[in-house]
Amino acid sequence: MQRLGPWSREAWTVLALHLLRSSRSPNTGGLFFHCVQGGLVQSSAREFAEARMKTQLELNKEKSSFVIKTPKGTRDLSPQQMAIREKILNAVINCFKCHGAKGIDTPVFELKEILTEKYGEESRLIYELKDQGGELLALRYDLTVPFARYLAMNKIKKMKRYHVGKVWRRESPSIIQGRYREFCQCDFDIAGQFDPMIPDAECLKIIHEILSTLQLGDFLIKMSWKDVRQEMTGKIGLTPDVADQIGDYIQQCGGVSLVEQLLQDPKLSQNKQALEGLKDLKLLFEYLTLFGIAEKISFDLSLARGLDYYTGVIYEAVLLQSPTQQGEEALGVGSVAAGGRYDGLVGMFDPKGRKVPCVGLSIGVERIFSIVEQRMEVGPLIRATKKIQTTETQVLVATAQKNFLRERMKLIAELWDAGIRAEMLYKKNPSFLTQLHYCEETGIPLVAIIGEQELKDGVIKLRSVASRKEVDIKREDIVTEIQRRMSES
């Protein structure tokens, strides 16, 4: 019979039976003896175990036709990918915290009604859960609607929060091209009634900071406002071509210079509402100048964002492709951050429609992951010199002799208890070469070696993997010495 665990079920059963036989408990002894007679139990346990294995094997046979995969549009992340992701997420979260944001979390699914009427045409891309009795649920489509629901539910009128989490969209295969149906978003939002354009400017500053920190190359932040293009083509009756040409023109004028030009126009300054809009726009550009980022912001009427909830300024950051980046053509230029103002969304969840103005941004980390990953793959220099470290192990506890498992275990427990990141091979007698290879493969910088001589001398031999230098360290000093070396590197 195949072993089903650290030891066989039969052995366990026999052991259990024996316990009962030698049990001093009068209440259990009698009954137990009754069924032990004649080896009945042992054979019954074996039959059971064998029947079980057979069923499992049959199940495997049936399933051999079934392909093991992740669901369409999703993927696993390998340790290498996780290491890259962790670095990027840490940089993004650090920036959010730099701006005083608090973290929150919300469930991955919401009542279906919460998501209804928020995303316009894109609503058809929402994943719904099966009706298994009870509430009708759907996976969240972004982190903005759950945030608005959170504010309304808790009657919060003012909050600066960040939220990092997955969202799900049933993108059709033709659109998908490198986009995933499950992806991570990093959102920062400012809710509350404040003096105009100050939070809006901070959101743009944050996008600028994050893209600068991540060193993805040159970028541009395009700014527009919701629905204008749609109105021009729909209500005003322009052809999309013309609307785009208008956008091109505005984009050419760009940023501050455009605003200046407009304010000098006597016809425009006569219109009260246009003047008001222009004043806000000027204020925003003034703030962006104070923040030192105005030259990266372009005013682009042609920019459109599909989501229904935006009500004012919208923006999107794109990477400007450096023409010489080898092998990056396939990625194209895409949005890596986006956001805008949504003053009406929270009110839609409030029974009395009380509004909480909001402005925020979302970092498209999934796209950033792809870019960084691809660079690491195509950059032969990077690949050769900088192996991605997927563990943070500082020392391997090793031996060059046989029968030192117990000594290794005692030593590694000491290191673990001191908070040192340590590993050992799970073999009674691993070869010394195998242990050294393991360090080189995984990037472990130190080896703590114990053997007969070391045991006798009361020392541990500490070896640097890179320099191959070995020194004897007193057993009682080994923790301090490893900590010292790690703090130096």
449-468 binders of a second copy (CB under 8 A): none
Q: Alpha-carbon distance 66 to 155, whole Å? A: 50
Scanning 132-140, 331-339, 447-455, 476-484 for contacts with a second copy by CB under 8 A, the matching segment is: 132-140
Q: Work out which of 38, 134, 323, 380 binds a second copy, going by CB under 8 A.
A: 134
The rounded Cα 195 to chain-centroid distance in angstroms is: 34
Tell me which residues in 136-165 interact with a second copy (CB under 8 A).
137, 139, 149-150, 152-154, 161
Q: Which stretch binds a second copy (CB under 8 A): 166-174, 320-328, 329-337, 458-466?
A: 166-174
Q: List binders of a second copy among 238-297 (CB under 8 A).
A: 238-239, 242, 245-246, 249-250, 262, 265, 267-268, 271, 273-278, 280-281, 284, 286-287, 290-292
Q: Do the beta carbons of residue 170 and residue 127 sit within 8 Å?
A: yes
DSSP 163-212: EEEEEE----HHHHTT--SEEEEEEEEEES--STTHHHHHHHHHHHHHHH
The pattern of x and - marking residues 33 through 62 that bind a second copy according to CB under 8 A reads --x-----x--xx--x-------xx-xx--
Q: Tell me how far CA of residue 181 lies from CA of 73, 75, 140, 167, 371, in angstroms.
A: 5, 9, 12, 8, 18
End-to-end CA distance of the chain: 52
Is position 306 an interface residue for a second copy (rule: CB under 8 A)?
A: no
Q: Which is nearer to a second copy, 112 or 325 (CB)?
A: 112
- Residue 38, Cβ density class (10 Å: 0-12 exposed, 13-18 middle, ≥19 buried): exposed
Tell me the window of 3-11, 325-333, 363-371, 471-479 that interacts with a second copy (CB under 8 A): 3-11
Here's the x/- map for a second copy, 215-234, by CB under 8 A: it reads as: ----------xxxx--xx--
CB closer to a second copy out of 386 and 416: 416
Sign of the alpha-carbon dihedral angle for 221, 226, 229, 230: positive
Asked whether the beta carbons of 317 and 220 are under 8 A apart, the reply is yes
**Rounded distance, CA 34 to CA 36, Å?**
6
Q: Which is nearer to a second copy, 74 or 480 (CB)?
A: 74
- Between 18 and 386, whose beta carbon lies closer to a second copy? 18
Binding mask 420-449 for a second copy (x = CB under 8 A): xxxx--xxx-------------x-------
Q: Is 330 a binder of a second copy (CB under 8 A)?
A: no
Interatomic CA distance for residues 407 and 404, integer angstroms = 5
